[in-house]
Amino acid sequence: MLESILNHLLFFGGSLAFIMAFAQFLQIFRHGRHLWLGIFFSCISIIGFHQYYFGVYDVPSHNLSQFRGQMVLFMLGPSIFFFYKKLFFEDFTIQVKHIVHFIPPLISLCIDAIMFISKDASDGILKEMRTFLIDYNFYYITSAGLIFIGYNLHILTKEDFISLMKRKMKNKVNQVALTFVVMVLLITILLVYAVVTHNVTLGRFFMTLMIVPFAFILLVGYLNPEFIHVFTSEVRKNRYERSLMRGLDVDALKMRLEDLMTRDKVFCDEDLGLKRLSDMLSISPHQLSEFLNKHLNISFNDYVNKYRVAEAIDLMQAQPDRAIASICFSVGFNSKSAFYEAFAKFVGISPARYRKKHK
């Protein structure tokens, strides 16, 4: 009875993960994070169907290494790691140093190849290698679980999700973060239990359960489209505040500054100056000026005016009958001359000509 229930749960989990993977792949051109989340759900789906097959046909645990496709176990950690990177750092790109994340999956792929070409071997080194892999199959599968646990613990501690729980729970973001962290930690504990008890099937089932916390985040994001943006912004802000205690973190500063400009639109304040913006970032005006000039290759005035002009263009397109002077002051400029000068600098033509050209 218990085995039957477990098999049905594995089939359901595999099916749900397949649907979610398909939905993510349909959105890969919108944002890079959908690719990695799609890969993650695909791996979960394959694991679920694998275990369903093993359960229905009573495949012994010690024979699991003879089935190809174990690489998906080792792709769970890297896929969720790169999803997290793309979620919280939009300009993140894979570099040579990240190749290390793909070493375990590649080793697993080699093991699959060895098991395939040695299936008919009666003696020799191939037979010995096959026997060795079957004998130590438990450690092979267990290593995948331990690597996955390590990735989850790294993400939870490195980006300080747990610290969000310590804040007031009236904040919806903190409530969701708490729920997410609790689910991940609970499943991690269950995985540890499966490893300690040498239960490979149970371990794979708990891996399949990892779909739950991410499905929860996606559901919340679907019901509240702004949530993902607010959530990522909160994590970036939290990471940035922590970085100040260790010294200036350029990447964290860049993300926090971007949040202030794109989400909070602080540039709309005509009194915004270097001092006020640096105070918002808890750094000195000199540090902010140096960061803009050295890392973004732009002056403070040009940096702020670039956002103001972009916002003015959006308003001109959304409100074609609104007076240009009204738009000028609403985006933070304190004079029409400054607005016209900045607009011509970044767009190449005057606001009036731009509006006429795009009517």
Q: Which pLDDT does position 268 carry in this prediction?
A: 92
Q: Residue 233's CB: how many other CB atoms inside 10 A?
A: 20
- Decide if 347 is inside a domain: yes
Evaluate whether residue 235 is within a structural domain: no
Q: Is residue 179, in this structure, part of any structural domain at all? A: yes
Q: End-to-end CA distance of the chain, in Å?
A: 69
CA distance 5 to 90: 41
Judgement on whether residues 176 and 57 belong to the same structural domain of the protein = yes
Closest CA to 324 of 358, 301, 354, 357: 354
Q: Is the pLDDT of residue 31 over 50?
A: yes
- Is there a single domain that holds both residue 212 and residue 306? no
DSSP H helices, the chain, are 2-25, 33-56, 71-88, 103-117, 125-135, 137-158, 161-165, 172-196, 200-208, 211-223, 227-246, 250-262, 274-280, 285-295, 300-318, 324-330, 336-347, 351-357
pTM of the predicted model as reported, rounded to 2 decimal places: 0.62
Q: Which domain holds residue 9?
A: 2-224
Residue 254 domain-assigned? yes
Q: Please classify residue 187 by burial: count the beta carbons closer than 10 Å to its beta carbon, then call 0-12 exposed, 13-18 middle and 19+ buried.
A: buried
User: Considering the domain boundaries, does residue 241 fall inside one?
Assistant: no
pLDDT of residue 245: 43
Angle, helices 71-88/33-56, rounded to nearest 10 degrees: 150
Q: Which amino acid is at 22?
A: F
State the residue for tokens 């000026």. 289
Q: What is the mean pLDDT of the chain?
A: 79
Instruction: Please report whether residue 236 resides in a domain.
Output: no
Task: Flag whether pLDDT at 165 surpasses 60.
Answer: no
Among 172, 191, 224, the domain-final residue is 224
| DSSP state letters, 76-87 | HHHHHHHHHHHH
* Total domains in the fold of the chain: 2
Task: Tell me the range of 54-58, 142-146, 327-331 where mean pLDDT is highest.
Answer: 327-331
Query: Looking at 224, 259, 276, which one is the last position of a domain?
Result: 224
Q: Give yes or no: residues 27 and 137 share one domain.
A: yes
Structure tokens, 62:
């010690």
- CATH number of the domain at 255, please: 1.10.10.60
Q: 8-12, 99-103, 183-187, 245-249: which range is least confident on average?
A: 245-249
Whose structure tokens read 């959006």?
Answer: 314
The answer on 283 and 198 residing in a single domain is no
How high is the pLDDT of residue 311? Answer: 93
Could you please report the per-residue DSSP string of 157-191? HHTTHHHHHTS-TTSHHHHHHHHHHHHHHHHHHHH
Least confident of 213-222, 267-276, 292-301: 213-222
pLDDT tens for residues 51-76? 777 766 665 554 544 556 778 889 98
Q: Is the pLDDT of residue 133 over 60?
A: yes
Mean pLDDT of 315-333: 90
